Structure formats: structure tokens, C-alpha cells
Amino acid sequence: MAGGRCGPQLTALLAAWIAAVAATAGPEEAALPPEQSRVQPMTASNWTLVMEGEWMLKFYAPWCPSCQQTDSEWEAFAKNGEILQISVGKVDVIQEPGLSGRFFVTTLPAFFHAKDGIFRRYRGPGIFEDLQNYILEKKWQSVEPLTGWKSPASLTMSGMAGLFSISGKIWHLHNYFTVTLGIPAWCSYVFFVIATLVFGLFMGLVLVVISECFYVPLPRHLSERSEQNRRSEEAHRAEQLQDAEEEKDDSNEEENKDSLVDDEEEKEDLGDEDEAEEEEEEDNLAAGVDEERSEANDQGPPGEDGVTREEVEPEEAEEGISEQPCPADTEHFHHGHSGSPHSSLLSLGQRTPITARFT
């Protein structure tokens, strides 16, 4: 009986002792804090912290398998951040689409190194050893920095961040329509199309109102005066064009007149030259006739020979004298300017018979 009674009592005492031990051990285990992550989440509100000091950033997405494979390596690298004197951060592109647009992230995971506001893209495997060597050996100095419009702090990338933020909000709204409310996807697309058209019309109306506020229309009399000035300017231009055409025509007429005068002077010069040549020919013919006469008087005896000589010489004289032109025909040659002097003299000689008398 006594042994049967002691058994349950011993069991109860053992249970009480275990409970007491558990009660004393529980608060001690609860007092131990869980291990905290050394990776600092970055958002649109605190991303400017990377502008000071040295940082390494990782862009990831929860659904990305490659990002999940590098999580442990990234955590180990963050634990040694104090030794390496570097801060480690991460960016969830689903929650922070603006930052992904600011850094223009197109592939996941993406790593960036920042040193005093100068950013460089790290394209290594993302394992702990390579990340550690990248910092210790300062391999980032051989990488071309993102400068100019490519820099995340530039105005261009700020605008890109705004566009990515808007697209992220639209995507979240689309998920709310299709997942939470159960609306078909095509209804969500129609809604966004109509919203885009309405927003465009509204922005156009706002621009028109702003332009009307800053644009001051001219008074009526000023507008009429400006119209009159415009018409007068057009008329003045037309008159100038007309005057220019008239001056051009006058200059052409003067050039034509000058050319005609020059032609006439050339013709007169040619006529004077022809007259001089005709006079010389006439003088030569007269001298030849005089010589023949003097030879006939000196050499020819009276008698038959004299008669014969007289008969022959008058014929020669007639032929010589007949070649001399009359004044009327000479004037006709000067005015006509046609034919040669020899042909005109021959024709004159045929029309005017002249006989010679010898003593």
C-alpha cells in the first residue's frame, strides 16, 4: 500500500520539478534576441544615404530564383561590412519601382557600388568571396562610373524614376481590380484606356487655360492698325518689285539702243573706207589715162599711122574713161553698201559713152 501511494507522489513531484525548471529556463531563452539582418532595406525616402560613404546595393524581386540563391551570400557579406568599412543595402523592385527606374535596372539581380555619390555597376557572380575581393582589392576603380545623364542623381534619372513609379502604381491598381475585386482583365484594360483619354483631354484643357491667362490680346484699334500696316507693307513690296522690273526693262532697251548705234557707226566706218578705196582707184585710172595721152602725143607721127593711132587711142580712152563712175552712181553705192567698187565702175562705163579728142 505504501509503495503504491509513493509512486503517484513521486510522479507528481517529478512533474512539478520539470515545470519549475521549464518556468525558470523560459524567460532566459525569451530574453535572447533573434539574430538581426545587417542588410538595410532601401526605399524612395532613404535612398539618398548612399550618396555618402561606400555602399553596395542589391536589386531583387521575391519571385526571382537567382535573387534567392544569392540571399545567403549577400547576408554573409553584410556581416563583414564593419570589417570592410562598407554599408550593404537591398531594394525590392516590386515595392520600390521608382528606385529601379532611377538606377535603370533591366535584369535581376542587379548590384551597384557607390562611393561618395559615384555609382558603378558590379557585374560579378554575387558570391561572398568575389564581393569581398571587389572591395578589398578596389576592383571597382577599373569600372567606368555612371556619369552624366546616366547617374541616378541626375535630372534625367529622376524623371525616369517618376515614370517607373507611375507604372508601378498602375500595375498595383490592375492587380487590385483583377485579383481582389475579380474584374476581368479586359475590363481593366478598357478602364485604363478611357482614363488615359480623359486625362489627356484634361491636360489639354489646362494648357489652353494657362495660355489664355498669360496671353494678352491686342485692342481692336491696334489689331486694325497692324492689319493696315501689313497691307501697306505688302503694297510697298509690290511697288518695289514693279519698279525693279521697269528698271530692268529700261536697261534692256538702252542696251539695245547702244548696240544699234554701234552697228550704225560700224557701217559708216565701212562706208568711209569704201569711199577712200574708190577715190584711190579713180585717181589711179585718171593717171593712167594721162600717161597714155602723153605717150600718144609724143610718139605718134601724122598720117595714116596718126589716124590709126587716133582711132585706136580714142577707143582705149573711151574704155578707160568709161570705167570712171558718175556722181549719181557713187552716191547710190554709198547708200546701198552693196556690190564691189569694180563692178559698179564697169556698169557706169557701159551706160556713159565718152569720146576723146586729140589735137
Phi-psi region of 126 (alpha: psi -120 to 50; beta: other; left: phi over 0): left
Phi-psi region of 357 (alpha: psi -120 to 50; beta: other; left: phi over 0): beta
Polymer length of the chain: 359
Rounded distance, CA 119 to CA 101, Å?
15
Selection from 134, 161, 150 nearest residue 47 by Cα: 161
168-171 LR contacts (CB < 8 Å, sep 24+): 168/94, 168/97, 168/98, 171/97
Selection from 26, 105, 112 nearest residue 74 by Cα: 112
Read off the amino acid at residue 230: R
Q: Which residue has the cell 558603378?
A: 120
Residues 6+ apart with CB under 8 A from 92: 41, 60, 61, 62
Q: Which of 64, 187, 213, 326 is catalytic?
A: 64
Asked if 187 is an active-site residue, the reply is no
Asked if 213 is an active-site residue, the reply is no
Catalytic residues: 64, 67
